């Protein structure tokens, strides 16, 4: 295995790397419970590095003003959620040029058929039509592989939808090591539990998503607390009145129960017992309070951070500097192994 040139690898804890695109102004409850909260928790017993993949965001058309704004907002929400930029390297992808450098090398050892088989590419390009699909969308998985391999990552906590990209990343790491000599740690996907999958409040068979049909279907971290409570209280529920978990016949109530369980740590059975003989309305009132108690302070903190963009930019610059301490030597080693002529000092 490759020797690591890592500043703080003294603990021997596995290295974790992940991130989510700055593709909306606010994360939703599904992003928080399904991804960000896990990343926050992992900081206690893993060596974590987190980033905002803004270069990935331009694989679909972007408004330049919005890109910068959303990058800051996303960063602020991560920090407010508990990612600690003073101990966990936390940075913006485009601030670390090594991502683009390594992506090119990896693109050149990826087969065209291999890239075309990526289901995310197939789905998105089919939806947009060939003329509206950029070559960047095609190259997306190789950039993602570069993100991960630059940091000699052991584990990548991601959602199920990213499993195939992780498989490609592993194949590219093994291929590179075999062809050119040991350069990269071969990472593992850590697929985050689907029990935390959160559904749309208005359409509880579809997942809560940035691109949902109705704004009332998603709880946004930046929603005012009153609005969050109102959305929970007007969530679609099901026929009957019993508060019982049954995804098939009671998708609305089941969704509320799993949000309740994720936020409190109580099991579904415990919650069912607590609400035995009560009405849907009781569950909604209690849940609204829990949601507001959890997300309200994160929202406040996000607004505070957004009020001081210079301080936020300073933290991100420190993150990028720490990232480059690891990414720089990895790219240098990859160039050397591939046989590039070293530039004169």
**Of the residues 124, 197, 230, 233, which is catalytic?**
124
**Of the residues 122, 193, 197, 207, which is catalytic?**
207
Q: Is 147 in the site for ligand LTN (CB under 6 A)?
A: yes
Q: How far is the CB of 173 from ligand LTN (least distance, A)?
A: 13
Among 83, 102, 156, 271, binds ligand LTN (CB under 6 A): 156
State the angle between helix axes of 98-107 and 309-338 in degrees (0 to 180), rounded to the nearest 10: 40
CA proximity to 184, closest of 6, 16, 321, 4 = 4
Among 49, 118, 150, 198, binds ligand ATP (CB under 6 A): 198
Q: Cα–Cα distance between 304 and 154 in angstroms, integer?
A: 34
Give 133's contacts (C-beta < 8 A, 6+ positions apart). 124, 125
Distance of CA 261 to the CA centre of its chain: 21
Query: Of 17-25, 125-133, 171-179, 275-283, which segment contacts ligand ATP by CB under 6 A?
Result: 17-25
Q: Is 83 in the site for ligand LTN (CB under 6 A)?
A: no
Give the CA dihedral 50, 168, 162, 8, nearest 10 degrees: -20
Question: Could you confirm whether 210 is annotated as catalytic?
Answer: yes
Cβ-in-10-Å burial (0-12, 13-18, 19+) of 54 comes to buried
Q: Is 96 in the site for ligand LTN (CB under 6 A)?
A: no
Full DSSP string of 50-67: EEE-HHHHTTS---HHHH
Question: Of ligand ATP, ligand LTN, none, which one does residue 207 interact with (CB within 5 to 8 Å by kind)?
Answer: ligand ATP
Query: Of 71-79, 204-212, 269-277, 292-300, which segment contacts ligand ATP by CB under 6 A?
Result: 204-212
Tell me the residue nearest to ligand ATP as measured from the CB: 34
Question: Could you confirm whether 230 is annotated as catalytic?
Answer: no
Among 162, 183, 254, 333, binds ligand LTN (CB under 6 A): 162
Q: Is 30 in the site for ligand ATP (CB under 6 A)?
A: yes
CB 32 within 8 A of CB 13: no
Count Cα neighbours of 272 within 13 Å in the Cβ-side half-sphere.
12
Q: Which residues form the interface with ligand LTN (CB under 6 A)? A: 17-21, 53, 56, 144, 147-148, 156, 158, 162
Q: Report, as residue numbers or ranges, the catalytic residues.
A: 124, 207, 210
């Amino acid at each position: 295995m490759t020797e690591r040139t890592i500043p703080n690898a003294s603990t021997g804890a596995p290295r974790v790397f992940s991130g989510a695109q700055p593709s909306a102004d606010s994360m939703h409850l599904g992003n928080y419970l399904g991804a960000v909260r896990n990343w926050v928790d992992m900081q206690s017993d893993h060596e974590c590095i987190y980033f905002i993949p803004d270069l990935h965001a331009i694989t679909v058309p972007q408004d330049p003003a919005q890109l910068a704004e959303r990058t800051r907002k996303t960063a602020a929400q991560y920090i407010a959620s508990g990612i600690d930029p003073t101990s966990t390297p936390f940075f913006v992808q485009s601030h670390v040029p090594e991502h683009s450098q390594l992506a090119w090398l990896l693109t050149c050892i990826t087969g065209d058929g291999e890239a075309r088989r990526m289901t995310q590419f197939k789905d998105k390009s089919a939806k947009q039509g060939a003329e509206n699909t950029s070559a960047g969308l095609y190259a997306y998985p190789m950039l993602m592989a570069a993100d991960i391999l630059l940091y000699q990552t052991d584990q990548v906590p991601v959602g199920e939808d990213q499993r195939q990209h992780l498989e490609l990343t592993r194949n590219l790491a093994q291929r590179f090591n075999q062809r050119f000599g040991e350069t990269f740690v071969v990472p593992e996907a850590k697929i985050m539990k689907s029990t935390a999958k959160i559904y749309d409040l208005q359409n509880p068979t579809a997942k809560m998503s940035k691109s949902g049909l109705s704004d009332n279907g998603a709880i946004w971290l930046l929603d005012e607390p009153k609005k969050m409570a109102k959305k929970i209280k007007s969530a679609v529920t099901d026929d009957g009145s019993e508060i019982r978990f049954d995804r098939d016949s009671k998708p609305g109530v089941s969704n509320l129960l799993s949000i309740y369980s994720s936020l409190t740590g109580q099991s579904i059975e415990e919650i069912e017992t607590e609400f035995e003989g009560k009405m849907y309305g009781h569950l909604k009132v209690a849940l609204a309070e829990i949601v507001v108690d959890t997300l309200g302070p994160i929202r406040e903190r996000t607004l505070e951070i957004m009020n001081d963009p210079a301080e936020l930019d300073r933290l991100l610059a420190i993150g990028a500097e720490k990232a480059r301490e690891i990414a720089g030597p990895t790219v240098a080693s990859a160039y050397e192994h591939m046989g590039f002529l070293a530039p004169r000092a």
